[in-house]
Amino acid sequence: MKIAVVNYKGGNVQSVLFALERLGASPVLTADAEVLRSADKVLFPGEGEASSAMRALREVGLDKVLPTLQQPFLGICLGMQLLGMHSDEQDTAMMGLLPFHVRRFEPDAQHKVPHMGWNNLLNLQGPLFKGLTEADHVYFVHSYYAPVGAYTTALAAHPAPFSAAVQHGNFHGVQFHTEKSGSVGTRILANFLAL
């Protein structure tokens, strides 16, 4: 199986590659459109800031390529947010694959920004969560979030519910870091590779 990981000079790519290798995959880190189109699965990890990430994608034409992919696609953290229409972070237009507008968390006395740490997932739907329950926890680090909508396949809360995972057709996204979420994250990656 040919696994491609999108190379847009973003953070956190190496830990995703290691997580895939632990599952027996041999992922290729690439910004080449033809390699991405011919892959069996594509992962789009992300750490950092929305406008910089979109600028990097536009510089190599990936903002046009990624939305056309037909195979299973997984966006992780910022990689999930970039599937949306727009982000409040630097007033950024994104890839427009899902009809959400990314918002910034508002801190309060009990809830700091960024939202950082382990949270359980609620209302699990879809193939990524096969074998998991609402007692399972994953690791989040983010200041921005996608609101809950028809595309939401899992929820978390900080303090109000937000989309912890989304799906539209072959495009899947998770707000948490699978590669930092222990055995639960490994199971989600394995489920993705099995799609």
* Residue of 49, 77, 158, 172 marked catalytic: 77
Active site residue 179: yes
* Cα-based distances in Å from 46 to 5, 64, 126, 169, 173: 11, 18, 22, 21, 11
Q: What is the dihedral of CA 173, 168, 52, 179, to 10 degrees?
A: 10
* Residue of 49, 142, 158, 179 marked catalytic: 179
Amino acid (one-letter) located at 193: L
Could you tell me how far CA 144 lies from the centroid of its own chain? 13
Backbone dihedral angles phi then psi of residue 3, each to the nearest 5 degrees? -110, 125
Cα(132)–Cα(108) distance, integer angstroms:
31
DSSP per position, 103-139: EEPPP-SS--SSEEEEEE-BS--SGGGTT--TT-EEE
Active site residue 47: no
What angle, 0 to 180 degrees and rounded to 10, lies between the N-to-C axes of helices 182-193 and 13-22?
A: 80
Cα(146)–Cα(152) distance, integer angstroms:
9
* Residue of 115, 142, 158, 177 marked catalytic: 177
Residue numbers annotated as active site: 77, 177, 179
